[in-house]
Amino acid sequence: MSTQPPEAAASARELTYAEAIREGLEQAMEADSRVFLFGEDVGVYGGAFGVSGDLVHRFGAERVIDTPISELGMAGAAVGAAITGMRPVLEIQFSDFITLAMEQIVNQAAKIRFMFGGKATVPMVVRLPGGSGTGAAAQHSQSLEAWFAHVPGLKVVQPSTPHDAKGMLLAAIDDPNPVLIFEHKLLYKTKGPVPEEAYRVPIGKAAVRRAGEDVTIVASSIMAIKAAAAAERLAAEGVSAEVIDLRSIRPIDLETIAASVRKTHRLLIVYEGVKTMGVGAEIAAMIAESDAFDYLDAPILRLGGADAPLPYNPVLEKAAVPQEDDIVAAALRLARGEA
């Protein structure tokens, strides 16, 4: 378990989430000639969300490669390059388009190490801008991370801060396994402290963003930011919420969650992906199966995406994913024994 890492506190320099990822890419490419980046318009244009920026000018078109619109081929090319000695980083322009690449990621990348008896590793990273809130409708707004967390052999992370975006990217590039990084589109412009050196944020470790006594709120990606804001408001209502930013959903840091539940006796899980059959179900089940279950004083609550495709109209779109108000209301119900 860790709170805000000490480096972050010491560093005064702030970067946006997108800049932090770019700096991580740059440092990884500088340090290791095996690392290369590819994806649609990541080179000359600098990435649809501006993440790769001018990296093509630093490293050339051989290492920052613009691809055609061929997601399946690209994912497979990452697998093939990885098992042939490289460290590919693939950007899928909108995470929704990974549906076209499922086969190579699920049947190949995830299984190669096990299936071939440990004779090969697949050190590839896939960066996936996702999430709703931009009016981009049903095919450009999804949060599909739970699909991949269901696949043994893959690692799945969702950094919520610029600090973690850089540190988890560097950890992912080091990792000998395929790592999928889901980056929330609404986070790209958010700012936060980012150390200048190349540092790693371990994959599989949650962060306690705020210590509290009355209720544990476990959240991932942008929901961790919303949960922290909600906790601020809850404090004003006399409810002390502990906020855990999951950061990684496979592997998942059950120990940090269970320790918090043993302390607060109440658990609220918040995530943007569809609630049904999602990350929250897994966490709730893990807690129910653990000794932490005995500490619960209330039912476990989940807030997740609606059981519907993401709608275009902005009012409906907001209604389709948990908002700060929903988190406050749910935590209050839990804390007041109304759940």
Partner 1 sequence: MTAERAKSRYSAMLRIRASEEALQKLFADGRIPGFVHLSIGQEAVAVGVSSCLRDADTVSSNHRGHGHTLAKGVELEPFFAEILGRETGLCRGRGGSMHVADFSKGMLGANGIVGAGLPITTGSALALKLLGKGDIAVVYFGDGALAQGLVHECINLSALWSLPVMFVCENNGWSEFSPTSRQMATSLRKLADAFGVEYRAVDGNRVSEVAATAETLVAGMRKAPAPAILECATTRVRGHFEGDRQDYRTASEIQSLPARDPLSLARAEMQVEGVPPDWFDEVAKQIAVEVNNAVAKALTAPPPIDADLAAGVYAGMGSK
Ligand X SMILES: Cc1ncc(C[n+]2csc(CCOP(=O)(O)OP(=O)(O)O)c2C)c(N)n1
Residue 167 CB: number of other CB atoms within 10 A? 26
| Residue 133 touching partner 1 (CB under 8 A) | no
Among 17, 38, 59, 97, the residue binding partner 1 under the rule CB under 8 A is 97
Respond yes or no: is residue 71 known to be catalytic.
yes
313 binds partner 1 (CB under 8 A): yes
Please give the C-alpha separations between residue 19 and each of 65, 98, 124, 201, 248, in angstroms, as whole numbers: 19, 23, 21, 17, 21
**Comparison of 5 and 309: residue with beta carbon closer to partner 1:** 309
Q: Among residues 7 and 66, whose Cβ is nearest to ligand X?
A: 66
Instruction: Tell me the C-alpha distance between 298 and 296, whole Å.
Output: 6
Beta-carbon contacts of residue 86 (< 8 Å; ≥ 6 apart): 34, 35, 36
Binding status of residue 286 toward partner 1 by CB under 8 A = no
Residues forming contacts to ligand X in the complex (CB under 6 A) are 40, 69, 71, 93, 97, 100
Q: What interhelical angle do 324-335 and 222-236 show, nearest 10?
A: 50
* Cβ at position 111, least distance to ligand X in Å: 24
Residue from 102, 136, 186, 198 in contact with partner 1 (CB under 8 A):
136
Q: What string marks each residue from 54 to 93 as x (binds partner 1 by CB under 8 A) or -? A: ------------x-xxxxxx--------------------
Characterize the bridge pairing of strands 155-157 and 248-250: antiparallel
Q: How many residues does the chain have?
A: 339
Q: Does 48 bind partner 1 (CB under 8 A)?
A: yes
Question: Which residue from 54, 289, 307, 325 is in contact with partner 1, where contact means CB under 8 A?
Answer: 307
Q: How far is the CB of 45 from partner 1 (least distance, A)?
A: 4
Residue 190 three-state SS:
coil
Q: What angle do CA 18, 256, 269 make, to 5 degrees?
A: 70
What is the binding site for partner 1 (CB under 8 A)?
Answer: 40-41, 44-45, 48, 66, 68-73, 96-97, 99-100, 134-140, 306-309, 311-316, 319-320
